[in-house]
């Protein structure tokens, strides 16, 4: 079992809840209230700004050129890839990046990003990568499950762009690179270190569930 496979096994029950979440189900069948999605888009845009900083700290923590490049490539993939989905939706919803950036982070969002940033500042390369992994992989897993259950979901006139973005080959390839990064950085970890890595990944997986709750309830 690889390190990433262990992390995923440790969080199976949490991840199972994502697929049944009413927010995710609303995207899947196209019935999600657009006001909820608008709220989510703004909060996720703010989340991604801090998420990118975690990768940037990974660049600074990297011990060699290869890992520097992997972290740096991920910052590019977010700023000039994943965030394009958000900018597109925000334009369709009449939200400017300036408006989004001047919106306050919801408490759940702030708690999540603060946790990741603390891990990034205080711990090592593998821990930085593990704190990022849950968000990256869970979005692909959610989108793939949506398409499996609703084969036309990626063609929905509004939510299709969100689904197709997270089942795209480019997003999958970026995730594969991140999995390789985590597995290689933690390859020589002992049981105590692996258990700590799992604690970080589990915490972030729980935060992902809280983020969906926050978006559904539009919590401040």
Query: What does the pLDDT profile of the chain (220 residues) look like in tens digits?
Result: 999 999 999 999 999 999 999 999 999 999 999 999 999 999 999 999 999 999 899 899 888 888 888 888 878 778 777 777 788 888 888 988 888 889 999 999 999 999 999 999 999 999 999 999 999 999 999 999 999 999 999 999 999 999 999 999 999 998 999 999 999 999 999 999 999 999 999 999 999 999 999 999 999 9
| Residues designated catalytic | 208
- CA 33 to chain centroid, in Å, comes to 22
Residue 114's domain comprises 3-217
Q: Which of 88, 209, 216, 79 is nearest to 159 (CA)?
A: 88
Are residues 18 and 141 in contact, defined by beta-carbon separation less than 8 angstroms? yes
Per-residue pLDDT tens digits for 143-158:
999 999 999 999 999 9
Predicted model pTM = 0.93
pLDDT digits (tens, 9 = 90+) for 177-201: 999 999 999 999 999 999 999 999 9
CATH at residue 23 = 1.20.910.10
What's the total number of domains in the chain?
A: 1
DSSP per-residue string spanning the chain: --HHHHHHHHTHHHHHHHHH-HHHHHHHHT---HHHHHHHHHHHHHHHHHHHHHHHHHHHH-SSHHHHHHHHHHHHHIIIIIHHHHHHHHHHTT--HHHHHTSPPPHHHHHHHHHHHHHHHHS-HHHHHHHHHHHHHHHHHHHHHHHHH-TTGGG-TTTHHHHHHHSSHHHHHHHHHHHHHHHHHTTT--HHHHHHHHHHHHHHHHHHHHHHHHHHHT--
């Amino acid at each position: 079992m690889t390190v990433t496979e262990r992390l995923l096994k440790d969080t199976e029950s949490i991840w199972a809840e994502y697929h049944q979440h009413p927010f995710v189900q609303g995207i899947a069948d196209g019935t999600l209230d657009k006001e909820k999605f608008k709220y989510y888009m703004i909060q996720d845009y703010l989340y991604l700004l801090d998420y990118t900083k975690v990768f940037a700290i990974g660049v600074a923590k990297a011990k060699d050129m290869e890992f520097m490049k992997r972290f740096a490539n991920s910052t590019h993939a977010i700023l000039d890839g994943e965030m394009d989905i958000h900018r597109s939706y925000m334009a369709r919803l009449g939200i400017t990046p300036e408006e989004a950036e001047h919106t306050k982070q919801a408490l759940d969002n702030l708690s999540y990003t603060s946790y990741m940033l603390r891990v990034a500042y205080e711990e090592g390369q593998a821990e930085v990568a593990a704190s990022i992994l849950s968000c990256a992989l869970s979005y692909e897993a959610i989108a793939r499950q949506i398409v499996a259950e609703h084969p036309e979901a990626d063609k929905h006139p509004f939510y299709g762009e969100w689904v197709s973005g997270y089942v795209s080959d480019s997003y999958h390839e970026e995730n594969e690179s991140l999995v390789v990064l985590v597995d290689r950085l933690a390859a020589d970890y002992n049981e105590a270190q692996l258990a700590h890595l799992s604690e970080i990944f589990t915490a972030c997986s729980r935060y992902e569930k809280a983020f969906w709750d926050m978006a559904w309830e539009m919590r401040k």
